């Protein structure tokens, strides 16, 4: 049998249902601690992480979190068998971080004409051009060379946008321990330091062979990346002219290594937690462009209602109702399905709006088929309207965070 065929079979062997004491076939010693539920942890290796993803089991890789690092150092994890549920080790792993605050968000919009004006500037040709370049990297897998190069390209785009005000608007890399692809934060200073954030993940993955196979990641999450990039371009244009003066500090986050278990965003929010930052709210945009499973006339966005902040979700309902041409449907996606979960884990309010109800979302993700020709630009435009409305209305609103 040809080696390539043999290799291709390995992932399917690995995709058999997982038992807690599954024999460790590939991937070496278990050295990653993952969180698979609000209070449920497992000790696994890299290959087992992939197997879990292939089986649609979501997790946060918390190996670099303060508590887990400490447990490793104290040798507490050394004798834990592979796949063993380490929940019983209890409080060592449970953080004492309080759940997100329920701030009082605006119940109506206040800046209709400004936001409508921004919306008129959305340029889907430009977005197509950006996504075309972004998906041309062989893969944006966080551990790959091209995943580093795609981050550099994205950083270059952001540098261009902030060039006229580069002394005021802060563009920073967040470097991560263990892989080269960095997260990027563009920060527009407000009158106060509390942050309104929009986020997307820049990495992609091919779940068959992450390190070998092509992964265009057009929808997941190239679409979200170009969505928030376009909203940033439009708002910056206004900022440069002196027309946009946000009350809260407005940030655009491009996370690395979401596909590795929210690794990049976990680092970002762990840092914000340690620095005692205040986050008014995060809107995550992960998958904004696929409508292939929806009938015409039934096209909608998906508002994720599980493991998100209900108050912030209410605010998002107001934004969609006022600024978008299609409705939202409520849907759920399970524990830790995207970077908003990293914010929530650290006690920061967060929401997630995806292209559709979970059942209608793209089934091409994590494969070679997640390509730009499958992207519906009218749909991406709706998400861009949402992002503009959210970013402007919430950063201008004087949300009281002293509660």
Q: Return the number of the residue (221 or 251) whose C-beta is nearest ligand BES.
A: 221
Q: By CB under 6 A, what part of segment 270-289 binds ligand BES? A: 286-287
By a kind-dependent CB cut-off of 5 to 8 A, residue 219 interacts, out of Zn ion, ligand BES, none, with none
Contact segment (CB under 5 A) with Zn ion among 126-134, 181-189, 215-223, 294-302 equals: 215-223
With respect to ligand BES, which residue has the nearer C-beta, 130 or 356?
A: 356
- The stretch among 51-59, 73-81, 105-113, 318-326 that binds ligand BES (CB under 6 A) is 51-59
Is there binding between residue 203 and Zn ion (CB under 5 A)? no
Smallest distance, ligand BES to C-beta of residue 245, A: 34
Q: Is 221 in the site for Zn ion (CB under 5 A)?
A: yes
Q: Which of 83, 147, 199, 261 binds ligand BES (CB under 6 A)?
A: 261
CB nearer to ligand BES: pick between 169 and 336: 336
Answer yes or no: are the C-beta atoms of 219 and 284 closer than 8 Å: no
Answer yes or no: are the C-beta atoms of 25 and 13 closer than 8 Å: yes
Q: Is 336 in the site for ligand BES (CB under 6 A)?
A: yes
Q: Which of 155, 230, 251, 258 binds ligand BES (CB under 6 A)?
A: 258
Give the pair of three-digit tokens for residue 162: 């902030």
Q: Which of 35, 42, 53, 143 binds ligand BES (CB under 6 A)?
A: 53
User: Least distance to Zn ion from the beta carbon of 223, Å?
Assistant: 9
The answer to the question of residue 59 lying near ligand BES (CB under 6 A) is yes
* 375 and 289 Cβ atoms separated by less than 8 Å: yes
- Binders of Zn ion in range 276-315 (CB under 5 A): 286
In the complex, minimum distance from the CB of residue 286 to Zn ion, in angstroms, rounded to a whole number? 4
Number of chain positions touching Zn ion (CB under 5 A): 3
Distances (CA, A) of 272 to 233, 284, 307, 341, 342: 25, 17, 20, 14, 11
Decide if 362 contacts 292 (C-beta within 8 A). yes
Q: Which of 396, 399, 304, 401 is nearest to 350 (CA)?
A: 304
In contact, 34 and 59? CB cutoff 8 Å: yes
Stretch that binds ligand BES, among 37-45, 125-133, 137-145, 333-341 (CB under 6 A): 333-341
Residue 337 makes contact with ligand BES by CB under 6 A = yes
And the tokens for 313?
A: 């979700």
In this structure, are residues 61 and 263 in contact, taking their beta carbons and an 8 Å threshold?
Answer: yes
Binding part of the chain for ligand BES, among 52-60, 113-121, 135-143, 162-170 by CB under 6 A, reads 52-60
The residue range among 111-119, 124-132, 138-146, 353-361 that interacts with ligand BES, by the rule CB under 6 A, is 353-361
Q: Minimum distance between the CB of residue 27 and Zn ion, rounded to whole angstroms?
A: 22
Taking a C-beta distance cutoff of 8 angstroms, is the pair 204, 216 a contact?
yes
Give the number of residues in contact with ligand BES, rule: CB under 6 A: 20
* 103 vs 142, beta carbon nearer Zn ion: 142
CB 323 within 8 A of CB 373: no
Compute the least distance from the CB of residue 141 to Zn ion, in Å.
13
Distance in Å, CB of 96 to ligand BES, minimum:
23
Residue 339 is a binding residue for Zn ion (CB under 5 A): no
CB atoms within 10 A of CB 378: 12
Question: According to the binding rule CB under 6 A, does residue 259 interact with ligand BES?
Answer: yes
Q: What is the CA radius of gyration of the chain?
A: 21
Binding region for Zn ion (CB under 5 A)? 220-221, 286
């Amino acid at each position: 049998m040809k080696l390539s065929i043999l290799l291709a079979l390995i992932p399917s062997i690995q995709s058999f249902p997982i038992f807690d004491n599954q024999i460790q076939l590939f991937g070496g010693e278990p050295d990653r601690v993952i969180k698979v539920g609000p209070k449920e942890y497992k000790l696994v290796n890299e290959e087992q992480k992939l197997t879990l993803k292939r089986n649609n089991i979501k997790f946060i890789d918390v190996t670099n979190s303060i508590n887990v690092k400490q447990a490793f150092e104290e040798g507490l994890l050394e004798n834990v068998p592979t796949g063993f549920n380490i929940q019983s080790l209890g409080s060592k792993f449970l953080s004492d971080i309080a759940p997100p605050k329920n701030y009082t968000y605006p119940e109506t919009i206040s800046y209709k004409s400004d936001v409508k004006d921004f919306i008129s500037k959305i340029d889907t040709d430009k977005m197509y051009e950006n996504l075309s370049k972004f998906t041309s990297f062989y893969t944006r897998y966080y551990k790959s060379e091209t995943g580093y190069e795609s981050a550099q390209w994205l950083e270059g785009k952001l540098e261009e946008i902030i060039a006229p005000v580069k002394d005021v608007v802060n563009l920073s890399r967040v470097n991560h321990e263990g892989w080269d692809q960095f997260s990027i934060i563009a920060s527009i200073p407000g009158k106060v330091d509390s942050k309104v954030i929009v986020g997307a993940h820049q990495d992609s993955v091919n779940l068959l062979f992450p390190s070998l196979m092509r992964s265009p990641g057009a929808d997941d999450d190239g679409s979200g990346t170009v969505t928030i990039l376009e909203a940033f371009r439009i708002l910056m244009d206004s900022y440069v002219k002196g027309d946009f003066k946000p009350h809260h500090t407005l940030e655009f986050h491009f996370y690395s290594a979401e596909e590795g278990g929210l690794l990049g965003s976990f680092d970002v929010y762990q840092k914000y937690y340690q620095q005692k930052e205040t986050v008014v709210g995060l809107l995550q945009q992960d998958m904004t462009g696929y409508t292939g499973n929806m009938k015409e006339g039934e096209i909608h966005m998906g508002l994720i209602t599980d493991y998100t902040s209900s108050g912030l979700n209410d605010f998002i309902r107001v934004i969609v109702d006022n600024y978008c041409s299609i409705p939202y449907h409520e849907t759920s996606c399970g524990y830790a399905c995207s970077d908003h979960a990293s914010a929530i884990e650290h006690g920061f309010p967060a929401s997630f709006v995806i292209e559709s109800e979970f059942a209608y979302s793209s089934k091409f993700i994590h494969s070679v088929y997640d390509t730009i020709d499958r992207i519906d630009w009218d749909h991406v435009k709706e998400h861009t309207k949402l992002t503009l409305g959210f970013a402007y209305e919430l950063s201008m609103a004087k949300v009281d965070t002293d509660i």
